[in-house]
Amino acid sequence: MSATIIDGKELSAKVLDEAKTEIKGCMIRPSIAVIQVGDNPASNSYIANKEKVCSSVGIYFRLFKFEDGTPELSIINKIKELNNDEYVNGIMVQLPLPVQYNEKRLLNTISNAKDVDGLTDINVGRFVNGKKSLIPCTALGVMRMLDEEGIEVSGKDVVIVGRSKLVGRPLATLMLNRDATVTNCHHLTKDLAEHTKRADILVVAAGVPNLITADMVKKGAVVIDVGINRVNDALCGDVDTAEVAKKASYISPVPGGVGPMTVAMLVENVLTCYNAKNSK
């Protein structure tokens, strides 16, 4: 048995083509503003990719980069300025921030209507309570991949390894909303394999290279690898893909799986903000 590969690059290209067509019909270009603090190399890479993708579909991309040590109030004032800029549709703060900054305070300065990462307390609260809200992009991307492959979630045992606010927690809520039975595992879970071996759908977002091996996966399971790790100058996920693919029915690769879908969902969230503003 060899798993079907869920091609995130192909699906993201489809999503982006649809977005590009929609944007061509916009009287004013949608725009996104990104706040970066410091010079984290990984953040630089992620931002460059976001800029490339957004620009390719016609979204105006604006980067506001602050040196590490910039007073927090200066960054807050810039976010408030962008909140009031009618030509800015989406705002995001690139994470992680340097340790001395209050992440929650900065994120909650963003207007809920422009919070394309879905991380303000109000958007999180609305989402958990089943109300219309903006939702973190990676979690949305995972659900879109499952939907595209026709993989049913209702009634399935779903195990999510990781409980971050960007992936594990919002994804658990999305799965619950689809009537899945959901287990969230984390670094204090006593016997990880005991949980992963019963998963019909296993999503791994732990940031640990090759954490999930073939003996930890049920035959025929759907395995979604969200991890992005650099080992010996090469990217790999949290799943031992070559071996797990021999047991799984579907598997997403790293690179080329969830990563491209995350940026595609960011584009969709910018369009959601743009359309909400212009429908009023």
State the CATH number of the domain containing residue 152: 3.40.50.720
Instruction: Determine the pLDDT at residue 137.
Output: 97
Enter the tokens of residue 102.
Answer: 């209050």
Could you give the CA distance from residue 236 to residue 240 in angstroms, rounded to a whole number? Answer: 9
Q: Which amino acid appears at position 24 of this protein? A: K
**Residues 105-121: what's their mean pLDDT?**
98
The residue from 50, 114, 218, 247 that is catalytic is 50
Q: How many domains, in total, are found in the chain?
A: 2
On whether residue 269 sits in a domain, the answer given is: no
> Structural domain of residue 185, as residue ranges?
136-259
Q: Are residues 98 and 142 in the same domain?
A: no
Reported as a pLDDT band with limits 50, 70 and 90, residue 280 is: low
| Residue 233, pLDDT above cutoff 90 | no
Check whether residue 145 and residue 221 sit in a common domain: yes
Per-residue model confidence as pLDDT tens digits over 239-251: 999 999 999 999 9
* Domain shared by 227 and 155, yes or no: yes
Residue 158 has pLDDT above 60, yes or no: yes
Residues 81 and 141 in one domain: no
- Asked if residue 106 and residue 187 are part of one domain, the reply reads no
13 lies in a domain? no
Neighbours of 105 (CB within 10 A): 11
pLDDT above 80: residue 1: no
Q: Are 135 and 127 in contact (CB under 8 A)?
A: yes
CATH number at residue 66: 3.40.50.10860
Decide if 10 is inside a domain.
no
Same domain flag for 175 and 101: no
**pLDDT value, residue 234:** 85
pLDDT score, position 131? 92
pLDDT of residue 18 exceeding 90, the answer is yes
Instruction: Provide the b/e sequence for 236-249 (b: ≥16 CB within 10 Å).
Output: bbbbbbeebbebbb
pTM exceeding the 0.85 threshold for the entire prediction:
yes
Q: Is 36 a catalytic site residue?
A: no
Measured in whole angstroms, the distance separating CA 57 from the mean position of its chain's CA atoms is: 19
pLDDT at 105: 98
Residue that terminates a domain, selected from 112, 147, 169: 112
Catalytic residue list contains 50 = yes
Mean pLDDT of the chain: 96
pLDDT of residue 134: 97
Same domain as 185, residue 90: no
Residues 147-154, mean pLDDT to the nearest whole number: 97
Residue ending a domain, among 77, 112, 147, is: 112
Q: Is residue 41 domain-resident?
A: yes
Domain end, chosen from 112, 144, 162, is at: 112
Same domain, 254 and 193: yes
pLDDT of res. 87: 96
In a domain, 128, yes or no: no
Q: Give the tens place of pLDDT for each residue, 203-218.
A: 999 999 999 999 999 9
38 against 280, higher pLDDT: 38
d(C-alpha 242, C-alpha 30), whole Å: 41
- Asked if residue 186 lies in contact with residue 162, where contact means CB atoms within 8 angstroms, the answer is yes
From the candidates 36, 115, 117, 247, which is the catalytic residue?
Answer: 117
Q: What is the pLDDT of residues 44-85, one digit of tens each?
A: 999 999 999 999 999 999 999 999 999 999 999 999 999 999
165 is catalytic: no
Asked if 143 and 221 sit in the same domain, the reply is: yes
Work out the pLDDT band at 149, boundaries 50, 70, 90.
Answer: very high
Q: In the predicted model, what is the mean pLDDT of residues 29-40?
A: 97
- Is 93 within a domain? yes
148 and 93 assigned to the same domain: no
State whether 173 and 101 are in the same domain.
no
Is residue 103 in some structural domain? yes
CA-to-CA distance for 81 and 243, rounded, in angstroms? 51
Q: At 143, which amino acid appears?
A: M
**What's the one-letter identity of residue 57?**
V
Residues 193 and 106 in one domain: no
Percent pLDDT > 90 in the chain is 95
Q: Is residue 274 part of a domain?
A: no
